[in-house]
Structure 1
C-alpha cells in the first residue's frame, strides 16, 4: 500500500467518523428515537409474554417456554425495523438540502456518507439487542453464554447490514420521505408475520411455511432461538428446519452474508450515479 492510498483510507475514516458524530449529536439532542426503540420491544415482550403465559409447556417444542421462543423474534424484528428506517435521516438531508452540501464538499469518498449511517444504525441495533437480551432474561428466557451472545451480535450485525443497505438504496431511489415511509409500512409488518418471530413453521399453512423459509428474518431468528435453547451449540449444529432442507449455523451465516453482498452490490451502482 502506497503512502497516498494509506492517506486516502485515513481521510475516509476521518470523514466517516465526523459524519457519524453528527448523527449521534442529533440522537443526543432528540433521544426519543432510542428511548422508543427500547421501550417498544420491551412492551412486546411483556404483552406477548402475558398473552401466552397460559400456553401448555412444550407447545413450541422441546419444553421451550414462550419467553425463550419470543425473545429471538423480538431481537431480530427490532433490529430489522431500525435498519429499515435507516434511510429516513438521509432522505430528510436530501429534502432539506444538507446532502447537496455534503456532495459538493471536498470529501475523499462520498461513500463515507453511507458508511456513517451504517455504523450509526448498527450501533443502535446492538444497544437495543443488549437491552432486549437483559429484559428477556428477567421474564424467563434465560441468558446465553458469552459465546452465544457473541453469535447473536454477529447475526444481528449481518441482518442489519443488509437491511440498512436496502433502506439507504430506497432513500436515494425514491423521490421523497412520503414514498419511503410508505415502502417501510408495506415491508415491515408483512415480513414480521411471514417469519418465525411469533410462531413456529409447524403452526403455519404450507404456503406460508414456504414464504417464511425464504424470509431473511427467519434465517436470523432461528439460529438465535437455537442458541437460547441449546448451550452446546456449534457451527455445525442444525439450527433451522425448512420444508425442503435443514440448515446448519454456518450455512445460515453464509446465507445472511450472501444476502448482504447481494444488497450492497445492487445498490452500489445507484449510489455511484447519485453521488456523481
Structure 2
C-alpha cells in the first residue's frame, strides 16, 4: 500500500512565478535568481543578527569617533564642519565593503553542508544565477545599511546631500559592492573551507580601512601611506561621497582628491571604481566555469 508524503510547507521555497515560454532563457534565469535570492532573505529573516549587527556597528563608529574628535581644531579635517561630517563617507564605504567581503560566506556554508552540490545538479538554466542571487542579496543589504548611516549622520550634524547626490552615493556603493562581492565569491569557490575564508577577511578588513582616507585626510599621512591609500579602491569611493556632503554644486570634473601623482576628479574616481568592479567580476569567470562544470 503506497503512502502519500505531504511536504512540509516550512521547507518549501516559494517565489513569485515568472511566466516563461519553452526555451526562454531570460525568464528561466530571472525565476531562478528570484528563488535563490528569496532563500537568502528567508535565512536572514530567521536569523536577523547579521543585519542588526551590520546596522549597529557603523552607528557606534559614528557616535564614538564623532565624540572622540569633537574638540578637534577647526579645519583639521579640511572643509568638513565636524568630524561626523568627515567620517560619514568613510563609514558608508567601509560598511558596504565589509558586507561585500562577507558575501562568500553563505556560498561557503552551502558548500560545506552539501546544499551547493544539490544546486549544481539541479536543472538550472544557468548556474550563474547562484552567483547573481548572492550579489543581489549583498547589494540590497548594503543599500539598507547605507540608508541608515546617511539618516543617522544627518541627525548628527553631517548634513544630507541632495536627491542627485544620494543617487550618486547609491551608484558609488553599487560599483564598490559589485567588485568586492565578486572577489569574495571567487574566494568562496577557491578556498577549501570557511576557516580559511574568515582568515582572509580578518587579515584584509581593517588594514584596508586604515590604509584609506576613511579616518584621516590624505594630507595627514606619511608619503608612503599616501601612495598606499591612492592604490586602495576604498579611497576612490570615500572621497567622492565626502565631496557630495561638502558641495551641492558638484560635477564629474570636480576635483575630489589630491593624490601624490596628480588630481583625481569625480568622474575619474567613478571610472577607477568601475574598472575595479569589471576586473574583479571578469577575473572570477574562469574559476566559476570550472567549478560549475
Relative to the length of structure 1, the TM-score reads 0.97
1:160 aligns with 2:195: no
1:107 aligns with 2:131: no
Which residue does the alignment assign to 1:263?
A: 280
Q: 1:147 to 1:269 in 2, by over 3 A?
A: same
Higher relative contact order (CA 8 A, sep 6+): 1
CA distance in 2, matches of 1:137, 1:64: 13
1:90 aligns with 2:110: no
Q: For 1:48, which of 55, 58, 65 is the aligned residue? A: 65
Which residue does the alignment assign to 1:193?
A: 210
CA distance in 2, matches of 1:231, 1:27: 37
Compare 165-174 and 245-254 and name the one that shifted more. 245-254
CA distance in 2, matches of 1:231, 1:135: 20
| Paired residues, number | 274
CA distance in 2, matches of 1:72, 1:236: 20
Alpha-carbon shift at residue 4 of structure 1 (Å)? 8.0
Alpha-carbon shift at residue 65 of structure 1 (Å)? 1.6
Alpha-carbon shift at residue 56 of structure 1 (Å)? 1.1
Q: 1:6 to 1:56 in 2, by over 3 A?
A: farther
Which residue does the alignment assign to 1:137?
A: 154
- Structure 2 residue matching 1:216: 3-state secondary structure: coil
CA distance in 1, matches of 2:80, 2:46: 45
CA distance in 2, matches of 1:6, 1:80: 38
Alpha-carbon shift at residue 5 of structure 1 (Å)? 9.8
- More helix, by proportion: 1
Could you list the runs of 4 or more consecutive aligned residues of structure 1 that deviate by over 4 angstroms after TM superposition?
3-6
Alpha-carbon shift at residue 13 of structure 1 (Å)? 1.0
1:20-31 to structure 2, matched below 5 A, reads 20-31=37-48
Alpha-carbon shift at residue 251 of structure 1 (Å)? 1.1
CA distance in 2, matches of 1:104, 1:91: 17
Which residue does the alignment assign to 2:11?
A: none
Q: 1:270 to 1:63 in 2, by over 3 A?
A: closer
Deviations 1:30-86 (A, max 9, x none): 111111000000000000000000101111112532111000000000000000000
Which residue does the alignment assign to 2:32?
A: 15
Which residue does the alignment assign to 1:251?
A: 268
CA distance in 2, matches of 1:253, 1:64: 25
Which residue does the alignment assign to 1:242?
A: 259
Kindly report the root-mean-square deviation, in angstroms, between the aligned alpha carbons of the 2 structures.
1.2
CA distance in 1, matches of 2:142, 2:202: 19
1:275 aligns with 2:279: no
Q: 1:64 to 1:121 in 2, by over 3 A?
A: same
CA distance in 1, matches of 2:102, 2:159: 30
Alpha-carbon shift at residue 264 of structure 1 (Å)? 0.8
Alpha-carbon shift at residue 244 of structure 1 (Å)? 0.7
Contact 2:80/2:86 (8 A) holds in 1: no
CA distance in 2, matches of 1:212, 1:11: 43
Unaligned runs of 5+ in 1: none
1:177 aligns with 2:165: no
Contact 2:97/2:180 (8 A) holds in 1: yes
CA distance in 2, matches of 1:196, 1:63: 14
Give the structure with higher Rg (CA): 2
Q: 1:243 to 1:110 in 2, by over 3 A?
A: same
